[in-house]
Amino acid sequence: MQNKINFKINNFGPINEANIDINQINILGGINGSGKSFSSKLLFCFLTSISNQGKIIENQGIFSSYDSFINRWINNFSRSNQDSIEYDFGELSEEINSLMLNWKENNISYEYLEDFFLKFKNIIDKYELLKNESCKNDLDLIKETIDINKNEYGYITRVINYLLFVEFGQSQMKFFKNALIEFGDEFDNLFNYKLDFKDNSLNISFNNQMSLNKFDFKNIIYIDSPSLLNFYIKNDNGLKINGNTGQFHYYNLLRGLISKRDNNSIALEELYYQNSKNLESKFINLIGGCFEFDEESSKFIFKTNENEYDIKNIASGYKQLGILQLLLTNKCISPGDWIIFDEPEINLHPGIQIQLAELLVKMAVELDISIYINSHSPYIIEAFEVYCKKYNINDKTSFFLCESIDETHQKFNINEIKCENLEILYDNLAEPYHIINKVRFDNDWNEEFE
């Protein structure tokens, strides 16, 4: 577990103010529309940007720039102008394809990107495509993107912009003007964000004295919909998602659900491996079966000892549990990972909620991962309280509550609630019971005096 992260949010959506010291286990309670999911999604964006996944996003973005260039100036332009061009289209295409096959995924070092660009440019120049001014301008844009990677803060700026736009929706960002978000460790601010769209720009500044190497986040998993297992479609072009689900976290999670991670270093750690297998078995026992991805049909299925079911016929609550089971089965959870879970209690009986809370606590303890949960269920929150104490991790656990700043319930502050004061959190979530008891009292009163 790394140093605690400090996360400050001001005037972002329904969140008026939050000053959160993120712990290993974090439980955020609040009513619907109080900013719980906003905080979860923001945390996902920030953690992802400084994790290995952030490097993958940047790598894929640069690769896509090359791909677009090739489609425009080699595949389409060269093919449609074969009668007038003075070079061999076949030879050009073969040289470019051979180079692109050597592209190294996950590598965003400036030295590698610069060297690859020079090789690419030399091929383009050899066939005199750069005589075309538009072609030259497109290639210059790729070079500008690569130059951003001269320092690690450059690519993080690009990744954060990308994640905020795809996760929240670019059209929505204008509603977050004048928001301020700060993100760093306990002592220094790593990021200093000001989301000000008055000039239609996102201003980002960094504390350049801090090295990002102190953060070692590998995989940031964000779970917010059990229906994800219904969205998957596979075609010749690879992974696709059906419906309006273009956020990065869906694609990232699906990759972990459909294929096993080849991680020999983790497999060699016998204690970790055994803990992971034991947890996988507990999830399988809890749901009475096992979720699998069927390669032949390109669908998720649910198997019991006697039957096999199409995913569309499985209760959504079981799918919620099945996502965690699949991640464990596919060895997609490693020490240092994060699981951000948006309302894990969805469609689960209170008894199952309590068992899920225990399993999540055991995952944090036995797999050395960090967890951020938001919930409006007093059952699952109280279960986290007792199980964190049972497994001796309460000193690494924090509870928070979204509290309305006025009677309009439009803006909320996120406040930490100490363990000895958790009745404040439970009382907030128990408000519906107060209403029911009041109606019951009125009914009894009216019956008595009729």
State the Cα–Cα distance between residues 33 and 35, nearest whole angstrom. 6
Predicted pLDDT of residue 211: 58
Q: Is residue 62 part of a domain?
A: yes
Domain count, the chain: 1
Confidence label for 388 from pLDDT (cuts 50, 70 and 90): very high
For residue range 226-236, what is the model confidence (pLDDT) as tens digits? 777 776 555 44
Q: Is residue 70 part of a domain?
A: yes
Predicted pLDDT of residue 243: 47
For residue range 97-117, what is the model confidence (pLDDT) as tens digits? 999 999 987 788 889 999 999
Q: Is residue 440 part of a domain?
A: no
Among 165, 156, 161, 224, smallest CA distance to 184 is for: 156
* Residue 328 pLDDT greater than 80, yes or no: yes
Q: In Å, how far are 293, 299, 300, 302 from 296, measured between CA atoms? A: 9, 8, 11, 15
* Residue 244 pLDDT greater than 50, yes or no: no
Confidence label for 364 from pLDDT (cuts 50, 70 and 90): very high
Non-local (6+) Cβ contacts of 349 within 8 A are 317
Q: Is residue 11 part of a domain?
A: no
Q: Are 401 and 425 in contact (CB under 8 A)?
A: yes
Predicted pLDDT of residue 255: 78
The percent of residues above 70 in pLDDT, for the chain, comes to 84
Predicted pLDDT of residue 246: 59
Lowest mean pLDDT among 235-239, 286-290, 403-407: 235-239
Query: The pTM is what?
Result: 0.87
Predicted pLDDT of residue 407: 87
Lowest mean pLDDT among 212-216, 251-255, 295-299, 430-434: 212-216
Predicted pLDDT of residue 198: 56
Strand pairing partners for 412?
15, 404
What's the angle, vertex CA 57, arms to CA 94 and CA 364, rounded to 5?
135
Instruction: Tell me the backbone φ, ψ of residue 384, rounded to 5 degrees.
Output: -60, -40
Q: Are 95 and 124 in contact (CB under 8 A)?
A: no
Confidence label for 261 from pLDDT (cuts 50, 70 and 90): low
Among 225, 425, 167, smallest CA distance to 344 is for: 225
Confidence label for 439 from pLDDT (cuts 50, 70 and 90): confident
Q: Are 319 and 226 in contact (CB under 8 A)?
A: yes
Predicted pLDDT of residue 237: 46
Q: Is residue 365 part of a domain?
A: no
For residue range 195-208, what is the model confidence (pLDDT) as tens digits? 665 555 667 776 65
State the Cα–Cα distance between residues 221 and 162, nearest whole angstrom. 17
Q: Is residue 113 part of a domain?
A: yes
Q: Is residue 270 part of a domain?
A: no
Mean pLDDT of 371-390: 96
Pair of tokens at residue 6 = 């400090």
Residue with tokens 């999540």: 360
**Residue 94 is part of which domain span?**
56-150
Give the distance, in angstroms, between the CA of residue 337 and the centroid of all CA atoms in the same chain: 11
Average pLDDT, the chain: 84
Q: Is residue 267 part of a domain?
A: no
User: Of the spans 21-30, 171-180, 306-315, which averages the highest pLDDT?
Assistant: 21-30
* Residue 161 pLDDT greater than 80, yes or no: yes
Pair of tokens at residue 297 = 């049909």
